[in-house]
Structure 1
Amino acid sequence: MIQEFLNYNLISITDDNIVEKLKKASDDLAIEFRHNSSKVRSFALVALDPDALIDNIEVTEAKEIILKNWSTFLNNSKDTPLTLVRAVILEALEIISKEGLFVSLIWLTIRNIHRYYNLKGKEKDLISNFLQRLGEEVERQGVKKWALLSMASREKLTVTKPEAINIKTDLTTLQKKLEDASGPNNSESKMNYESPNPYWPNQPQSWTYEFAPRAAKGIAEAIDKVLKELQTKVLNGIQTNIYDSVNDLITKIYEDVVERNRFLQIRTELIWWKEACYSVSLNQSYKNQQRGVLQVAIAFDYASFIPEIYPTSVDYFLKETYKNITADEDKNLKLSEIFKMIEQCRNQLKTIFIEPDALLGRISLLDFIVGLVWEKFTTKQFQKFVGISDNSEITLVEFTIWLFHDLQTLKILAGNTRES
């Protein structure tokens, strides 16, 4: 991403050494993300925001990492510190997006909010390209995960060709056998084995009768020894290779069938959920629920069904389910209006959300909603903590999907925490 900022002339650095220092800072920040994945969300939200405050917690931490690699960063930079900081953060995000579930975590964090940021011109194009790469990769993984098992996708048996084995004839033993077949003793006047040929070649008739069986036996023993080694090293190796390959194939097919059955079960549960219109979190029907409660409950319940990786069609299913449940007009509302609905339903929503700990730095829409429910925040603080105006407009179904995406990021973070 740093190179793309340079290519788009969004930062003006001509010294390759400085570029390498910025990339090293991104590498260091990526390491921090791997150790503390909960930071990915807040840093991603700041990285896309051209209006982020320079004293923001995430910006300050990124600046400190840059300063460790480029001590004169603040004094010698021709660009605004924020632009360089965001470039470094985006580079770090791109690095980790190629690892595990980070690509989904980043994508779900920023896919809804980015359209409300003040992105313009080349910077908007750069960010759009970044988002497109993330979205395409998440979609690829989601489609692969959710696809039904087909003949085309089934595993095929692969047997690795064994390595060439160098087996040599035992020339020493064969020579001794032929020496015994040729006469009573060898050049050292010794016999090698019992019962050598009692005749020399100067007695051709008798020598011939004695030579042939002894020579044939010696040659046959040498050949048998080579064949036995071949059987042991090559044939047994092939047999083991085939066994291992078949065993691996059966294991993969079993795991694939189990995984596909799990997703078939999810599909069945989703259809039942859509038709029943029943909220597990509220222990009530979705019908006739107040606006504010309804959107939160639908997003919360839906997230309980859906695994971390999923295709775009899952969002569309949620959208159609929402429309099936409520007759709300698909019109834009200000976020401040939706927040008022939330505030009026605080007591009911407290049964869904547990009281949060204090949050610092940039937070998600979901984080703010939970804080609003528990009176940790006021509507006036929305722009300070989330980075966009509460005058921003959105439909209620879009609001529901946004909450669902934020809930999915929490699920990913919970999984990363367990793994670490």
Structure 2
Amino acid sequence: MEQEFLLRFLEIGAIDLKGDDAKLEKLRATAKDLSAALRKAPSKAVSFTMVAADPNITATDPTIDEAMASLRKQWETVANAFASHPIAILRAILLDAVVQAGRSNDAIAVAFVNTARNALAYAEASDEAEIWREAVSEIETKVDARAETEWATPEMITVDPLQYTPPAPVSTDYGVPSVDKSALRENIFSAAGPWGPNEPNRFQPNQAPQWAPVFADKMSAAIAEALEGMAEELAPSPIDLSGPLSTLAKAVTTHVGKALASFSGATAGLQRRTNLLWWKEALYSPSAHASYLDLPPFEASALMALDLHKQLPTYSPASVSAFLREAIRCLPVEKGSQGNGERDVLSLVHDARTTAFMQPFRMLAAQYTPAPVGRGPLLSLIGHPQGSGAIEEGTLRVHAGMDGSTKMTASEWGTYLFRELQTARAITGSAAKRAKKSGSPTTRAKK
């Protein structure tokens, strides 16, 4: 049975409804409405997740306003029940809504898992850690299962048995053939002498030399005629095998096609794994046309996130992030970095918005995300720099939910950006598919 995360918040005391089941039903209805809205606009998965993960989210955040408006539709007097926006309740509703949507939509599932892992690493939600662990684990398991088809190797594939049902056997009833004894007797009688009705033998039996050959001929003809009549009755009716053979041919074609498709996909999965190992060992950036070892570590880690993202499909196992982290750890520690190879997020975002080597990253970020409004990914800040590219700490806090002084290692920075890239592509691709499926207004008008 699927877990209801609204109840989990009630169980730990994060929200208190005073035991009022009617209020709980209103929250459930609100979560259901927001989940439906999220399925129609998967891009909201990022802001929904980030807001749900941040206990310090402001009441003026656009996502909080949207959740509150949805709650008012179910609970008209909610404003009288709370002195201000019930942030804890709205966060619980948002988490439940995202999980509901993620269970039925793979793109939202990818966005939720990647965004949650990024946000929770820097959020102050320790009291809710177990709830989030369960939510992320459930949806991440779903994403990994979806990714198996694109990451399988030949030894992992299985081919289902041939699906073919033979036709029912054709039953044929044969009657026992019979001989017209009367006609046969007349023919034999005619062969015996000149007294028969059917072209009788003109010789008498006592005329042996002449009678015998004629008798033999007529007797043979009479017996042959009787046997041929029986043979005609015993001859089977012709059976049309074109239908069963055609069905069998189609079943074999489908079976072989599926087997080849599975093997082809597994070969692609093996090639993908091989390419990743080559990339990790070479430590060369195809986007910057330079070795990562020749770049500043934090700059290199961001480009590694970009290059890995370009090599991978949208649906990838969770272990890919760990793979990237280990690859980045192969880089040398940056000289002059704070502490043990760490830098503050504010300076990292500034460099990402201004450094020449990060231009390919900024271009892709701009394609994936709109200009920042409310809580959202760092990609929107990086892809849409304004003026000199400088960013204030307050802006970073409001938009990304992170303090500018938050420290990150190169591997943490690269992994963070990689997850955001995977998230952005998932929800962007999902939105494009929805638009293509529904058709543009012009297309619908023509129809």
TM-score, L = length of structure 2: 0.70
1:113 matched to which residue of 2?
Answer: 119
C-alpha deviation, 1:351, in angstroms? 4.5
1:370 matched to which residue of 2?
Answer: 383
Give yes or no for the alignment of 1:280 onto 2:286. yes
Deviates more, 1:279-288 or 1:85-94: 279-288
C-alpha deviation, 1:259, in angstroms? 1.6
Deviates more, 1:323-332 or 1:13-22: 323-332
Helix, strand or coil at the partner of 1:363: coil
Give yes or no for the alignment of 1:51 onto 2:56. yes
1:131-146 to structure 2, matched below 5 A, reads 131-143=136-148, 145-146=150-151
Give yes or no for the alignment of 1:396 onto 2:402. no
Asked if 1 retains the 8 angstrom alpha-carbon contact of 2:299 and 2:358, the reply is yes
List per-residue Cα deviations over 1:156-192 (Å, max 9, x = no partner). 225476999xx9xxxxxxxxxxxxxxxxxxxxxxxxx
1:324-363 to structure 2, matched below 5 A, reads 324-328=330-334, 331=340, 333-336=342-345, 338-339=347-348, 342=351, 345-354=354-363, 356=366, 357-363=370-376
Question: Partners of 2:354 and 2:85 in 1: how far apart?
Answer: 44
> Structure 1 vs Structure 2: percent identity of aligned residues?
23
Helix, strand or coil at the partner of 1:353: helix
Helix, strand or coil at the partner of 1:103: helix
Change (3 A) 1:375 1:79: closer
Question: Partners of 2:125 and 2:48 in 1: how far apart?
Answer: 17
Asked if 2 retains the 8 angstrom alpha-carbon contact of 1:12 and 1:79, the reply is no
Helix, strand or coil at the partner of 1:116: coil
1:294-333 to structure 2, matched below 5 A, reads 294-328=300-334, 331=340, 333=342
Q: In structure 1, give the amino acid aligned to 2:16.
A: S
2:24 matched to which residue of 1?
Answer: 19
Asked if 2 retains the 8 angstrom alpha-carbon contact of 1:332 and 1:393, the reply is no
1:202-351 to structure 2, matched below 5 A, reads 245-328=251-334, 331=340, 333-336=342-345, 338-339=347-348, 342=351, 345-351=354-360
Give yes or no for the alignment of 1:9 onto 2:20. no
Asked if 2 retains the 8 angstrom alpha-carbon contact of 1:46 and 1:86, the reply is yes
Helix, strand or coil at the partner of 1:394: strand
Asked if 1 retains the 8 angstrom alpha-carbon contact of 2:354 and 2:389, the reply is no
Question: Partners of 1:404 and 1:247 in 2: how far apart?
Answer: 41
Asked if 1 retains the 8 angstrom alpha-carbon contact of 2:342 and 2:409, the reply is yes
Helix, strand or coil at the partner of 2:159: coil
Asked if 2 retains the 8 angstrom alpha-carbon contact of 1:159 and 1:242, the reply is no
**What's the RMSD between the two structures over aligned residues?**
3.6
Asked if 1 retains the 8 angstrom alpha-carbon contact of 2:372 and 2:381, the reply is no
Change (3 A) 1:341 1:54: closer
C-alpha deviation, 1:291, in angstroms? 4.0
Q: Choose which of 27, 35, 38 in structure 2 pairs with 1:33.
A: 38
1:147 matched to which residue of 2?
Answer: 152
Rg larger for: 2
2:130 matched to which residue of 1?
Answer: 125
C-alpha deviation, 1:402, in angstroms? 0.9
Structure 2 spans left out of the alignment, 5+ residues? 171-232, 435-447
Change (3 A) 1:376 1:20: farther
C-alpha deviation, 1:396, in angstroms? 1.0
Change (3 A) 1:97 1:343: closer
Q: In structure 2, give the amino acid aligned to 1:331.
A: N
List per-residue Cα deviations over 1:331-360 (Å, max 9, x = no partner). 352424642771695333235313845320
Question: Partners of 1:412 and 1:340 in 2: how far apart?
Answer: 23
Asked if 1 retains the 8 angstrom alpha-carbon contact of 2:38 and 2:45, the reply is yes
Give yes or no for the alignment of 1:382 onto 2:396. yes
Change (3 A) 1:310 1:119: same
Helix, strand or coil at the partner of 2:39: helix
TM-score, L = length of structure 1: 0.74
Structure 1 spans left out of the alignment, 5+ residues? 168-219
Q: Choose which of 68, 75, 99 in structure 1 pairs with 2:73.
A: 68
Question: Partners of 1:331 and 1:237 in 2: how far apart?
Answer: 75
Asked if 2 retains the 8 angstrom alpha-carbon contact of 1:295 and 1:400, the reply is yes
Helix, strand or coil at the partner of 1:324: coil
Q: In structure 2, give the amino acid aligned to 1:75.
A: N
